[in-house]
Amino acid sequence: MLDTPRIRRGYSRSDQTDQAVRELAEDLAQPDAVLALVFASSRHDRGLLAAALAEHLPGVPVVGCTTAGELTPLGYRRGALTGVSLAAPEFQAVALRIDALEDFSVADSMKLVQDGLTQLGRKMPGMRTDQVFAMLLIDGLSASEERVVSGLYQALGEIPLFGGSAGDDLAFQDTGVLHDGAFHRNAAVLLLVATHHPFEVFKTEHFVAAEEKMVVTEADPGRRVVTEINAEPAAHEYARVHGVEVEELTPMMFAARPVVVKVGGVPYVRSIQKVNPDGSLTFYCAIDEGIVLTAATGVDIQENLREAFRRIRQQIGPPQLVIGCDCILRSLELEQNGLLDDVSCLLAEQRVIGFNTYGEQFGAMHVNQTFTGVAIGYGR
């Protein structure tokens, strides 16, 4: 698939792993490649996939993860293999794996980032920190995103961070990240990318805060469970605020009516996974006691995305690549409302490559129902 110099995108719909990798590798192969970023449906055997990528992209560092859907050069796909390669001298990259996520500390973050920036500086002498962005790929079933992203955010300083939690096509059984020729569970990969091109790390969500406030008065953040809201059983209070009965609290209800946390005036969406038998609510993100949640109402998701890309063009001009992390709940909503094809075309027009996630990272926050990524422009 023809692309701009130093950036090549590709994908394959083949369900035969070796054939899919051959097709993808043909698209991504280029001289001086410093990174291949690959997003893979969990329908592929991971051992075969990792081995085939190493064989067909020899000498190229390959990083990636399993997905809940793929963002390809043709838009949304399921069961596909997609990716992008970046090449020198316009790009340099370092990939750093984090294992045993539950033990990862702020001190570990500092050392990891310092080591990574030292390596990156050797590859691009004279590199400035404003030429660097960071991307995090993390096991989507680890429940460790908050710990990891908070530590990395502190260590990165002014370097912008975004990322996504690996999926497994909604099985919720086994997600993994790809690094050093193998897929890893309970792990994450931090990518540090330096480029001479302008870029913009961004997020967008199609929800706005309403007036109704909800204070979390009892929670178990480690389990991502909220027991009480406004000193009432969480499910009953959430239902009251939204004018429905507890029996009506279905996954689609939660997807349509998430809650928003404001940090520094910036909204971050937190989605609810399910009602538990004891009336508590399990979230997709950790929620602490004392947090003020705001009921959220949806806006036009297509126009919201168009506006996000308009802002990007104002900052860096038309993008030659967008690496995107898009919550699986967003694509399910689009599918339910008959908008998937339209938004798929919009993403293809904006040259998006990425995946549907089990959660997104932006700055210091782990969030849901958000599209986050980096847009890379043409100018220098």
Task: Quote the CA–CA distance of 166 and 142 in Å, as a whole number.
Answer: 10
pLDDT at residue 342, rounded to an integer = 97
**46-77 residue pLDDT tens:** 999 999 999 999 999 999 999 999 999 999 99
pLDDT at residue 265, rounded to an integer = 81
**370-379 residue pLDDT tens:** 999 999 999 7
pLDDT at residue 4, rounded to an integer = 66
Q: What is the mean pLDDT of residues 258-272?
A: 88
Per-residue pLDDT band at 380 (split at 50, 70, 90): low
Q: Are strands 266-270 and 81-87 parallel, antiparallel or unpaired?
A: unpaired
- Given a cut of 90, is residue 253 above it in pLDDT? no
* Cβ-based burial of 211 (10 A; exposed 0-12, middle 13-18, buried ≥19): exposed
Torsion 347-78-268-297 (CA) sign: positive
Per-residue pLDDT band at 2 (split at 50, 70, 90): very low
**3-30 residue pLDDT tens:** 667 999 999 999 999 999 999 999 999 9
Task: Quote the CA–CA distance of 101 and 145 in Å, as a whole number.
Answer: 9
In order of 6, 62, 63, 93, 155, the CA distances from 35 in angstroms are 11, 6, 8, 7, 23
- Given a cut of 90, is residue 252 above it in pLDDT? no
- The C-alpha angle 13, 200, 28, rounded to 5 degrees, equals 30
Torsion of CA 120, 125, 131, 133, to 10 degrees: 0
- State the average pLDDT for the chain: 95
pTM for the model stands at 0.94
Q: What is the mean pLDDT of residues 134-159?
A: 97
Which residue segments constitute the domains of the chain, with CATH numbers given? 7-204+303-376 (no CATH), 207-298 (2.40.30)
pLDDT at residue 3, rounded to an integer = 63
Of 190, 232, 191, 239, the closest CA to residue 215 belongs to: 232
Q: What is the mean pLDDT of residues 329-354?
A: 95
- Residue 210 C-beta-side C-alpha neighbours within 13 Å: 13
Q: How many CB atoms lie within 10 A of CB 204?
A: 17
Per-residue pLDDT band at 263 (split at 50, 70, 90): confident
Q: What is the mean pLDDT of residues 246-265?
A: 88
Q: Which of 256-270, 318-332, 345-359 has the lowest mean pLDDT?
A: 256-270
- Given a cut of 60, is residue 227 above it in pLDDT? yes
Q: What is the mean pLDDT of residues 160-172?
A: 96
pLDDT at residue 1, rounded to an integer = 45
